[in-house]
Structure 1
Amino acid sequence: MSDTVSHSQPDIRHRVAVLGSPIEHSLSPVLHQAGYHALGLEDWEYNRIECTAEQLATIVDSADASYVGFSVTMPGKFAALELADEATARAQEIGSANTLVRTSQGWRADNTDCDGIAGVLAELLGEHHDNLGHCLVIGGGGTARPALWTLAEGGAEKITVVNRSDRRAELEPLATSRGAEFALIGYDADLRTLAGEVDVVVSTVPSSSIAGLEADLAHAPVVDVIYDPWPTPLVAQAAANGYRTVGGHIMLAYQSYGQFEQFTGHQAPWQAMRQALEHYVHKPLS
């Protein structure tokens, strides 16, 4: 895909793109294009644009009028919120955005990663997803923030974050503002014992960041936001231990539905989008 904003073509009236780096692996085009096809939106196009956080403002500001919105992945989620002319309450509380929608006033930021986390928790835990006690979140970056917000919003009693640096000041309010107890620990803690005591493990970091720790962490149901490559070592270990797992491609699907509706003004064809994604993820290797 092109790494620059393309010019409008007569047959394409509406464009959306996902911004991030690296971006080649993104499955967002699979979801959104499937939605356009299902609804007969033939004049819509969704593509990928390689974009660092530093490049985001320039790329968005230079987008021609055919671009109605952008999905934003790492490392641009903080920059997306800073660029926006307005933002939803949840994006402001979380402090990052994965969605930019063009409005008559400029760009509106939202964070539909919350919908993604809520969706995978419901699939993973069923009727118990809104009755959580202790939750373990791995990482403290752009995806950890909506995970914390969603877990706390869903009534989690305690959230423990495992992170290499002390980011308590920015992460703790996301939990405690909704009544959850918060703890921050390092990777040198007794992770095996902790993982055996929690209701769910939510990993928001690349697999390389926890390489060698999978055997300690895989003692509870697991949400892993990574989907390339799939399955991740953490997911494979948890499944081998008999725990249910849900991957990042499912989170991606749930967060895309709200984006689709904000971009197009149409209700997202959830089933068609999910089926397209599942087919792509599980297709045989050539």
Structure 2
Amino acid sequence: MGVFNRAAVLGSPIEHSLSPVLHNAGYVATGLEGWEYTRIRCEVEELPSVVGGADPSFRGFSVTMPCKFAALDFADEVTGRARQIGSANTLTRIDGGWRADNTDCEGALVALRELLGSTPVRNAVLVGAGGTARAVVWALREAGCERLTVINRSDRSAEFDELTEGIDVAFRSFDTDLQETTMQADVVVSTVPADALQGQAAYLGHAPVFDVIYSPWPTPLATCAASNGYPVVGGLSMLAGQSYAQFEQFTGIEAPRDAMRHALLRHWEQSR
């Protein structure tokens, strides 16, 4: 049977994207025939022509860096959460154009729930204040966060005002007492490259840790937290979690979450 519907992940570099593993596993698990999910290398300036010129068989695009801001600007319609977060990782074809959404925040929420179960997140520490951090803040807010300490090299609190409404937020530099700060936290979330925490991981690993990195894994922060007896979860959980809503928006069918997650983990283990 030929291909009737397509989706793809856009970005650069794109060769190692694991999104095809997730989405194609979803097609198989739900018995969707005639669906194909591929990778398309796309630079920022190329996104309007790639998406705008896509033939009607393309139902949606997953968007990775560096194209997430361009995706938001390109869209004809934008979800509230994508606008709040300030970037889009999902473009879905709609009547008359394309809708932008950000499902990274759902991925972060999936990871938090995997890490903590039903335990409330009242006090959180977030490392980093970039685009991924914004998606994590959305998830922390949904998880009931009341107090948030952001560890970052600069105070970017003004950029987070809308996202953190109702949360007591404090920006702190890396010169603060990181060990004392994290020992009071329900969770530590790191959104920065593993090597950016060189020399700091030992002070941050005093609470359950969600590190958005999945390669290399484990990160020094995850190792330190685990050695202190705390549970850890990595970026694969977020990667899987953000794909479910994408799958549903592209296909209109409920995502087979277990099948997609298991396919990702199996692929990851086999490729190491």
1:158 matched residue in structure 2: 147
Quote the offset at 1:211 in angstroms.
Answer: 2.5
Letter in 2 for 1:54: E
From 219, 232, 254, the equivalent of 1:267 is 254
Contact 1:99 / 1:110 at 8 angstroms: preserved in 2? Answer: yes
Write out per-residue CA displacement over residues 2-47 of structure 1, whole angstroms, 9 at most, x where no aligned residue. xxxxxxxx92221111122332332111110100111222311112
| Ranges in structure 2 where 5+ consecutive residues have no aligned partner | none
SS in 2 for 1:58: helix
Contact 2:125 / 2:182 at 8 angstroms: preserved in 1? Answer: yes
Contact 1:20 / 1:51 at 8 angstroms: preserved in 2? Answer: yes
Contact 1:78 / 1:142 at 8 angstroms: preserved in 2? Answer: no
Between the two proteins, the alignment pairs up a number of residues equal to: 272
2:197 matched residue in structure 1: 210
Write out per-residue CA displacement over residues 163-209 of structure 1, whole angstroms, 9 at most, x where no aligned residue. 2233221123211x2x1101112223222221222110111122122
Quote the offset at 1:284 in angstroms.
Answer: 6.5
From 43, 48, 60, the equivalent of 1:57 is 48
SS in 2 for 1:174: coil
With normalisation by structure 2, the TM-score equals 0.94
**Moved >6 Å (runs of 4+):** none
Provide the aligned C-alpha RMSD in A. 1.7
CA distance 1:230–1:33, shift in 2 (3 Å): same
1:254 matched residue in structure 2: 241
Q: Distance in 2 between matches of 1:189 and 1:57?
A: 43
SS in 2 for 1:93: helix
Q: How does 1:187-198 map to 2 (within 5 A)?
A: 187-198=174-185
Q: Distance in 1 between matches of 2:25 and 2:209?
A: 28
Letter in 2 for 1:134: N
Write out per-residue CA displacement over residues 85-142 of structure 1, whole angstroms, 9 at most, x where no aligned residue. 00112112222211110111211011111211111111111121xx222111111111
From 171, 196, 203, the equivalent of 2:160 is 171
2:105 matched residue in structure 1: 114
| Ranges in structure 1 where 5+ consecutive residues have no aligned partner | 1-9
SS in 1 for 2:161: helix
Q: Quick one: percent identity of the two aligned structures?
A: 57
CA distance 1:159–1:54, shift in 2 (3 Å): farther
1:80 matched residue in structure 2: 71
SS in 1 for 2:163: helix
